[in-house]
Chain A
Amino acid sequence: MTPRALAIAGSELRILRRNRWLFMATLIMVLFALALTFAGSAPTGTLGVDMLTVSVASMTTLSVYLAPLLALMMSFDAISGDRDRGSLSLLLSYPAGRGEILLGKFLSHLAALAFAMTVGFGTAGALAAWSGGAGADSLLALGRLIATSILLGAVFLALGYGVSSISGSSTAAAGMSAALWLIFVVLYDLGLLGAVVMDEGGVFTQSIFPWLMVANPADAFRVWNIAASETIAVTSGMTGAASALPSWAAPLSLLIWPLIGLGLARVAFGRVEP
């Protein structure tokens, strides 16, 4: 952690606060989490679990979509925005290295994301626990949801910096980020689903499919949250694929992806000629 990276992080955090990004992201998280928690509270009685468990299961589904989206919205113009303004060449003429610049932006964006996730899921979780009860297991699940959501966000922050570096302008970066989101969050799963249907329960479905699934950080996030908690697996009704994998597979994927993403972003940023 260098002082220069911290200087950049401080400045970026100030920008996020001042242009209301932090406020809006937190508000979005709170509203969605609340809506899902209370709209999804119906099956509590039939499944015999406390309300926080149901809430966490609903919010896991939400976070798969929202965490990557919020992360990409922050990171897509992290490099291209500076280049569009003409200040990137100036920034690069200072003694701060490109790694330090990237690290500074990453730290501030991650902090903002962590704040929005913690407040959003925390509020909804607290309300669910208050109105419908909570146990040690479901509180642990809530903590896991928040931590893994931040990790998932970190992956897409890093991928966003890469996209921002290789695209010619912020507009192009926005388009590429949308495509990235669509591929990782929607199309990848659709493709796998199609393959499973075609395979009709053969070798692919038995041994390859779970690994392919967990290689995608968004699915690894889902598997980790579901596999780790028996009760959540019950409420979400998707235990099959998760149980075919060793328990370390999903955490490993989700922990390694931010590093892969940052490595890719560093290489892409290194090739930028402002």
Chain B
Amino acid sequence: MDNSLIIKSVNKFRGKAQVLQDIDLAVAPGERLALLGHNGAGKSTLIKSILGLTPIHGGSISINGAKPGSAAARADTAFLPEAVSFHPALTGREQLNLFANLSGAPADVPALLERVGLADALDRRIGTYSKGMRQRLGLAQVLLGRPKVALLDEPTSGLDPISRQDLYAIIDELAEQGTAVLIASHALTEVEARTDRIAILRKGVKVADNTLAELSSEAALPTRLRITARAGEIEKLAQKVGGTRVNGASIELCCSADQKMNELRRIAALGDVVVDISMTPPRLEDLYRHFAKESRQ
């Protein structure tokens, strides 16, 4: 039992609708797993099931060997809810002190708040915080007491780009200290570089669960080439190359990974009609669209 978080064939119903269907998922200590999916795909429901806040109907969930909602599981789990807010009358320090007391672990609250960049706002009321600052405060409580499993629901919502970088640096630290991190997110481009593995949910079904590289080759998505013609010669180029015109001067072509070099040679042979070529390999966004949107048999 090496994995910190093990989810085995979990089913959940809301009324007659099945919101989670036969979900299997495992996160190892120190691993960062991105959980992707549309709104209503079941990401938040899955997280609430792991926390024991909502019952599951079949299957099992184990947090470091403990059942969801048990005292042991709650002591081992850290959670950052989506768009969390706290009581506006308390200060950041007071709120974090409360969480430290509840978790039962002694904590250096000022140091934690400094780590998330709230050192200046330590004794200000949360009512005066911006959305990003509240999110940072939420993140600070995740760092309390070295959790075995961290569940982050849309952790970057409301954060500016610099703050996002900080956030992922903190997530990396968590992973380094051996925490299994599960990040539910919409922000595909960030997740791409910052996680070890990607799982995609669609309507309560897990449709993908692998590393980015493996998912790319599994999906066999085409590489996109954009070719820009010399002024006034776009018609000529279009006849020779094919593809679709995207604006007055460019053509877009799609080709599979193994055809890429052939295409490039063919285009290069056209001589100085071609001014520029740019090449876009499939990104997570394309993969996501492939796995999450298109109906697959």
Query: Chain A: residues with CB nearer than 8 A to chain B?
Result: 3-4, 7-8, 10-11, 14-15, 18-19, 85-87, 89-96, 273-274
Contact = CB atoms under 8 A, between A and B. Distances in A.
B53 A7 contact: no
Contacts of A90: 79-81, 84, 138, 141
| Chain A interface SS verdict (over half) | helix
A15 B79 contact: no
Given A7-B102, A94-B74, A94-B99, A86 B84 contact: yes
B48 interface: yes
A86 B94 contact: no
Nearest to B50: A93
Contacts of B141: 90
B132 to A, nearest CB: 16
A3 B101 CA distance: 8
A89 B89 contact: no
A81 B54 CA distance: 20
B102 A94 contact: yes
Given A7-B101, A14-B94, 10 more contacts: A4-B102, A8-B98, A11-B98, A85-B84, A87-B85, A90-B138, A93-B53, A93-B77, A94-B74, A94-B99
B263 interface: no
| Chain B interface SS verdict (over half) | mixed
A159 B95 CA distance: 27
Interface string B92-136: 001000110111100000000000000000000100000000000
B249 interface: no
Interface string B57-83: 000000000000001001101111111
Q: Give the interface residue-count category, chain B.
A: 20 to 34
Contacts of A274: 48, 53
B40 to A, nearest CB: 17
B160 to A, nearest CB: 21
A5 to B, nearest CB: 10
A91 B103 CA distance: 10
Contact of A95 (B54, B75, B83): B75
B111 to A, nearest CB: 20
26 contacts: A3-B104, A4-B101, A4-B102, A10-B98, A11-B90, A11-B94, A14-B90, A14-B94, A18-B89, A85-B87, A86-B81, A86-B82, A87-B81, A87-B86, A89-B48, A89-B81, A90-B79, A90-B80, A92-B53, A93-B79, A94-B99, A94-B102, A95-B71, A95-B102, A273-B53, A274-B53
Contacts of B94: 11, 14
Contacts of A92: 51, 53
Considering the complex of A and B, which 7 residue pairs feature the smallest CB-CB distances, nearest first?
A: A7-B101, A93-B79, A94-B102, A85-B85, A18-B89, A11-B98, A95-B74
A15 B90 contact: yes
A10 B102 CA distance: 12
B53 A89 contact: yes
Contact of B87 (A15, A93, A95, A273): A15
A267 B98 CA distance: 25
Nearest to A7: B101
Contacts of A18: 89-90, 125
Counting chain A CB atoms within 10 Å of each CB, which of B101, B103, B104 scores highest? B101
Contacts of A86: 81-85
B53 A95 contact: no
A8 B98 CA distance: 7
B149 to A, nearest CB: 11
Contacts of B79: 89-90, 93
A89 B83 CA distance: 12
A7 B53 CA distance: 22
A21 to B, nearest CB: 9
Contacts of B80: 90
A19 B89 contact: yes
A170 to B, nearest CB: 13
A108 to B, nearest CB: 12
B86 A85 contact: yes
A92 B68 CA distance: 12
Nearest to B100: A7
A79 to B, nearest CB: 13
Nearest to A93: B79
Contacts of B83: 86
Given A7-B98, A7-B102, A11-B94, A93 B51 contact: yes
Nearest to A272: B53
B131 to A, nearest CB: 12
Interface in B31-49: 48
A6 B77 CA distance: 22
A87 B71 CA distance: 19
A257 to B, nearest CB: 29
A95 B104 CA distance: 8
